[in-house]
Amino acid sequence: MKEIIVAVDFSESSVNSIEHALTIAEKARSNVTMLWVNKHGTSETLIGDKDDEQVSEVVSKFEEFIEKYKSYLSTSKLSYKIRNGKVYSEIIKETEELKAELLVIGTHGSSGFEQFWIGSDANKIIANTDCPVITIREGIDIGRNLDRIILPFDFSMETLQKVGITIKMADYFNAEVHVLEMFTTDGRFDQYKVSGYADMAEKHLNRFGIKFVRESLRNDNPTKGAIEYAEKIDANLMVIMTDQVTSPKNLWFGSYAQQMVNQSPIPVLSVSSKDVYSIK
């Protein structure tokens, strides 16, 4: 993992996101770019216009962050970037231009700048980028080590695409992965497929020496069920698929994925089926 972008609006949740990104970056030896988007600007990119009072304040805050957090990274670089335009589209452009392998954003933040990451912006970013995205709700304690990762499986083929990055994250933190078989019906065929995907994940986890446990969960609302399970085991990260495949087999398509991002009491890692973390 070479590059991590963290989107910043200077709210409490986005400051938490910076610290979370730095924790991952130190383990992964990644560079971190803090990104702020000026919604009122017109040029494609902006380095810092000292005649603009708000931009000057942003530059000053970023420089304070660099001074405060530079010691968090022993071998990699912390920097910042300012762009002009629509929040979600500029964030996506930056991930593409920088070839970022992870994007971290805070949700439900508000500050003296703007309330950027509520609902639609976060969901648009997740739905339209191929880059894996970690969302962190305001109030989440990011100070804990990443000890337990939930890896839920439904019966869509795309569900396996999140195994690669889960293995990487678990390896960085020596975390335990909870392979969670999710069922919403009593159909034997559905259960067979879900269990088959979990079997394949188990083989990959064993291959890379990742600690794991395996559980089954039946709930008509997969978001509610997964969140309850996360609270039960005191998990630190939930990994879900958010590929826009219009199939009833994908439990995380549409509203369920949005519910998870907006309601989860722990960080959520959303992965597209075009995830760059293939298993080799």
11 and 133 in a single domain? The answer is yes
Instruction: Return the pLDDT at 103.
Output: 96
Q: Which domain holds residue 37?
A: 3-137
Residue 245 has pLDDT above 50, yes or no: no
> pLDDT band for position 41 (50/70/90)?
low
DSSP 175: P
> Last residue of some domain: 137, 169, 189?
137
Is 155 found in the same domain as 128? Answer: no
pLDDT in tens, 104-138: 998 764 444 444 444 567 778 888 888 999 988 87
Quick check: is 276 in a domain?
A: no
232 and 176 together in one domain: yes
pLDDT at 248: 45
- Per the structure, how many domains does the chain have? 2
**What is the rounded average pLDDT of the residues 83-88?**
89
Q: Is the pLDDT of residue 47 over 80?
A: no
pLDDT score for 186: 63
What strand order describes the sheet that includes 212-218? 45-46, 78-84, 31-38, 3-7, 102-107, 133-137, 268-271, 237-241, 148-153, 176-183, 212-218
The domain boundary, picked from 84, 111, 137, lies at: 137
Report how far apart, in Å, the C-alpha atoms of 100 and of each of 5, 96, 111, 122, 254 are: 7, 7, 26, 17, 24
Strands 78-84 and 45-46: antiparallel
pLDDT value for 53? 80
Q: 199, 192, 123: which is closest to 163 by C-alpha?
A: 199
Q: What is the CATH number of the domain that holds 83?
A: 3.40.50.620
- Is 215 among the domain residues? yes
Residue 204 three-state SS: helix
Q: Are residues 122 and 174 in the same domain?
A: no
Q: Are 68 and 121 members of one domain?
A: yes
Residue 176: closest CA among 134, 224, 209 = 209
Q: Residues 11, 123: one domain? A: yes
pLDDT score recorded for residue 247: 44
Work out whether strand 176-183 and strand 102-107 pair parallel, antiparallel, or are unpaired.
unpaired
Shared domain for 249 and 153, answered yes or no, is: yes
pLDDT recorded at residue 185: 63
pLDDT digits (tens, 9 = 90+) for 171-227: 999 999 999 998 876 666 678 888 999 999 999 999 999 999 999 988 878 888 899
| 182 lies in the same domain as 79 | no
Based on the domain organization, do 156 and 247 belong to the same domain? yes
Q: 138: helix, coil or strand?
A: coil
- C-alpha atoms less than 13 angstroms from C-alpha of 78 in its C-beta half-sphere: 22
Last residue of a domain, one of 114, 137, 160: 137
Is residue 274 very low, low, confident or very high in pLDDT (cuts 50, 70, 90)?
low
Mark whether 106 and 191 lie in a shared domain.
no
Query: Residues 184, 249: contact at Cβ < 8 Å?
Result: no
Q: What is the pLDDT of residue 249?
A: 44
Mean pLDDT on 152-169: 87
Q: Are residues 152 and 173 in the same domain?
A: yes
Q: Are residues 133 and 152 in the same domain?
A: no
